[in-house]
Amino acid sequence: MKTALQNYQARMQRVLDHVDQHLDGDLDLETVSRVAAFSKFHFHRQFMATFGLSVHRYVQLARLKRASHQLASNQARSVTEIAMEAGYDAPDAFARAFRQRFRQSPSSFRKSPDWAPWLAAFGPLNNARSKIMQIIYEPKDVTLREVSPTPVAVLEHRGDRATLGDTIERFIAWRKAADLSPQTSSTFNIFRSERIPENPADYSMDLCIGTDRPIAPDDAVMKAGVIPGGRCAVLRVVHDIHNLEPAALYLYRDWLPASGEEARDFPIYCQRHFSFPPNAATHEVVVELFLPLK
């Protein structure tokens, strides 16, 4: 039976899901409060208290995120069209808001996206989703899977997590130049350290693209590697995909001791599944977290 707190959180989660799925619709305070079945006279404060930002700002950020994806991936659509769908009456108003958030004009972002400020701009959006609740995982959420060895192109990030945005930018640029899109080539992250180590310089993660294409020994960005095959415990993560720490903690703290299994000598890693539905404005992401087992 759901507790009162779980019910409250589920209603708030329903609001976020509705916003994400209806970015072209009417998302005023009255509409979203009705989705949650809360009084419109209190919902603004409830939303702000739960997520740390207003309904208006959440909607604005969500629309800007979709618009930025459209600019980077759909050259056929004009900036004016994208601006109108993002809720702006005129392209210049959209350009001002875009430049304020991302330190680039829409046209400049379309030609050469600077992903570091882009990632920073959506910190409040990602934090909002992570604040709603501690996701409760259960043993039934974990499946055992026999995984085949996967050849990958690897970009190693070593050092302060604060510089990860620059590494991601190089990763995306290399991927585009190699024509290895998320639709055709799998995306993996191998976590070789804690998410926030005591010494920030110890942060370590590999960004990987599934491909058996040869990587030149003198490639300045990527090198060839393999994610080894074997048995893995797999946990599917739908919410809060930008912070996998709660899911990883569940696997290590709760699932692994109770399962009788032992972890294999390879780091925990994830695969990011990008969904591009027909006529969708932007893609959706689901993450599978893999804990290698003996």
- For position 183, what pLDDT does the model report? 80
Which of 97, 131, 165 marks a domain boundary? Answer: 131
Same domain, 148 and 105: no
Q: Which domain holds residue 113?
A: 4-131
Same domain, 278 and 168: yes
Same domain, 148 and 249: yes
Out of 15-24, 137-146, 233-242, pick the least confident: 233-242
What are residue 289's DSSP bridge partners? Answer: 235, 270
Q: Is the four-CA dihedral 266, 208, 182, 67 of positive or negative sign?
A: positive
Same domain, 144 and 259: yes
Same domain, 244 and 107: no
Task: Kindly report the average pLDDT of the chain as a whole number.
Answer: 86
Same domain, 144 and 272: yes
Which of 106, 131, 156 marks a domain boundary? Answer: 131
Please check the confidence at residue 49 and state whether its pLDDT lies above 70: yes
Please check the confidence at residue 153 and state whether its pLDDT lies above 50: yes
Same domain, 277 and 198: yes
Q: pLDDT per residue over 214-241, tens digit each?
A: 999 999 999 999 999 999 999 998 766 6
Q: What angle do CA 153, 203, 222 make, to 5 degrees?
A: 15
Torsions phi, psi of 292, nearest 5?
A: -65, 135
Query: What's the CATH number where 285 sits?
Result: 3.20.80.10
What total of structural domains would you count in the chain?
A: 2
- For position 198, what pLDDT does the model report? 87
Same domain, 143 and 287: yes
Query: What's the CATH number where 10 sits?
Result: 1.10.10.60
Q: What is the mean pLDDT of residues 43-63?
A: 88
Same domain, 200 and 156: yes
Same domain, 104 and 199: no
Q: What is the mean pLDDT of residues 88-115?
A: 87
Which of 74, 99, 131 marks a domain boundary? Answer: 131
Same domain, 115 and 163: no
Same domain, 28 and 104: yes
As a whole-number percent, the residues of the chain with pLDDT over 70 amount to: 92
Helix axes 91-102, 55-73, angle to 10 degrees: 100
Q: What is the mean pLDDT of residues 197-226?
A: 94
Out of 12-26, 195-209, 226-240, 276-290, pick the least confident: 276-290
